[in-house]
Amino acid sequence: MTQVHKRFTPEQVKVLFQGYCQGNLSRPDIEEMLGIRKTRFFALLKNYRRDPDTFSLAYQRSTPGRLSEETKNQIEQELLREKALIDDEELPIHDYNYAALVDRLKKQGIQVSTTTVIKRAKMLKCYKSKKKGKAHDREVLTASIGDLIQHDASLHKWSPFAEEKWTLITSIDDYSRMLLYADFVPEENTWVHVQAAQSVLQTFGLPFRYYVDNLRVFRFVQKRDSFWRTHHLCTDEVDPQWKQVLQEFKVKVIYALSPQAKGKVERPYRWLQDRIVRTCALEKLSSMEDARAVLREEVHRYNYQQVHSTTREVPAIRFANAKKAGNSLFRPFVLPKPYKSVKDVFCLRMTRTVDGYRRITLDRHSIVVPKVDVREDVDLRLVPDFAKNVLEVRIWFKDNLVHSVNLPLNEFQRFA
């Protein structure tokens, strides 16, 4: 069969791709009409999306027709390293990732296509056929950025050379699929989730809703009464610390009823896990700081270079276009009254009663509370600083900051 540019004009092909992007035509139908296969289809589609007005069918070879021996040896070396990772039963890697391998070769100055790598992989028996999955029928349910932020955490051994597991915390905008926050923490607790929320809210603004699972950090869930125990509080009758922070800004919190309902944030996790674990294993990284550098690189790739399989757009570009068009439910970040410092909102909260000596007790520490009558309740806002080993205690009474004191953080069991 003759080449596509000899059988169709660019305008005819542009009409087909326009129908595909609008959801009116399927990929198999277009491939059949043009007489091409999947690889050529996506190559043409990429050129069309880059600039529909200057779209051309001209074929330009970007790499030499034959691979040099040096290139072949480098591809073979990377494939064998990939095979060693898959054969290692301790690693959560079970399939080849040829796209990641192509990216590694690109860093070494070697430009090859994924198809070329797959051909070499089959020759070296470094290939596993993928199982046929379900049809890709996911869709974006929100209509604006800031409508729904999906927030989650994943505990995993991100490097085979690390001595312990780390937790990855992420927040993703549902409409654009852009990762708004992603970072490793040594341990998951309420405070790290408060800091994650602070980063998102101060950087992007106040969203309409947050979508989380039923982890105790996010929700108080009470089990049913039993013969041996009767509960006095029901589910959601107590708001956890993290939820109280969002309620201060009037951000609604909704909960997923099953792990499957969190699929939109779980898929980026799998994508990040696959690439981060591979890089850490190949480069023999063992510290969280080194892995964090890999995470930042992969998040940048995901946000600014990858075309998302559901939206068919690069997440950062989709986010920017929505913001430019005013299609946003993010509200400007403003501290709720009467607070004048972010420390009074992004914090942990307690209530204490002033005793007859106008003092309160906090984990065996006695604190004088001026300007407050005895037997009155005061609100404590606790701000831990692990780098400086300091716990700042800010005491509020009737919408006024009446006292602030710094205490040694390591003397508090709850932060140990």
Among 271, 296, 324, the domain-final residue is 324
**Count of domains for the chain:** 4
- Contact criterion met (CB below 8 Å) for 160 and 166: no
Residue 102 lies in a domain: yes
Residue 334 lies in a domain: no
Residue 128 lies in a domain: no
Residue 115 lies in a domain: yes
Average pLDDT, stretch 355-384?
Answer: 92
Determine which of 135-149, 287-301, 337-351, 360-374 has the lowest per-residue pLDDT on average: 135-149
Higher per-residue pLDDT: 393 or 134: 393
Reply yes or no on whether the pLDDT at 291 is more than 90: yes
Shared domain for 252 and 281, answered yes or no, is: yes
Shared domain for 318 and 170, answered yes or no, is: yes
- 3-state SS of the chain is CCCHHHHCCHHHHHHHHHHHHCCCCCHHHHHHHHCCCHHHHHHHHHHHHHCHHHCCCCCCCCCCCCCCHHHHHHHHHHHHHHHHHHHCCCCCCCCCCHHHHHHHHHHCCCCCCHHHHHHHHHHCCCCCCCCCCCCCCCCCCCCCECCCEEEEEEEECCCCCCCCCEEEEEEEECCCCCEEEEEEECCCCHHHHHHHHHHHHHHHCECCEEEECCCCCCCCCCCCCCCCCCCCCCCCCCCCHHHHHHHHCCCEEEECCCHHHHHHHHHHHHHHHHHHHHHHHHCCCCCHHHHHHHHHHHHHHHHHCCCCCCCCCCHHHHHHHHHHCCCECCECCCCCCCCCCHHHCCCEEEEEECCCCCEEEECCEEEECCCCCCCCEEEEEEEEECCCCEEEEEEEECCEEEEEEEEEHHHCHHHC
- Contact criterion met (CB below 8 Å) for 381 and 344: yes
Q: What pLDDT score was predicted for residue 81?
A: 86
Q: Provide the residue range defining the domain that includes 26.
A: 4-54
Percent of the chain scoring above 90 in pLDDT = 40
Shared domain for 46 and 95, answered yes or no, is: no
Residue 160 lies in a domain: yes
Shared domain for 173 and 246, answered yes or no, is: yes
Determine which of 25-29, 139-143, 261-265 has the lowest per-residue pLDDT on average: 261-265
Shared domain for 166 and 287, answered yes or no, is: yes
Higher per-residue pLDDT: 270 or 278: 278
Residue 142 lies in a domain: no
Shared domain for 299 and 402, answered yes or no, is: no
CA separation for the pair 145, 242 (Å, rounded): 22
Shared domain for 183 and 294, answered yes or no, is: yes
Residue 125: pLDDT band (50, 70, 90) is confident
Shared domain for 87 and 206, answered yes or no, is: no
Residue 137 lies in a domain: no
Shared domain for 281 and 379, answered yes or no, is: no
Shared domain for 29 and 163, answered yes or no, is: no
CATH of the domain at 299: 3.30.420.10
Determine which of 46-60, 159-173, 367-381, 386-400 has the lowest per-residue pLDDT on average: 46-60
200-248: pLDDT as tens digits: 999 999 999 999 887 777 754 455 444 444 444 444 446 789 999 999 9
Shared domain for 13 and 162, answered yes or no, is: no
Shared domain for 215 and 88, answered yes or no, is: no
Q: What pLDDT score was predicted for residue 233?
A: 43
Residue 258: pLDDT band (50, 70, 90) is low
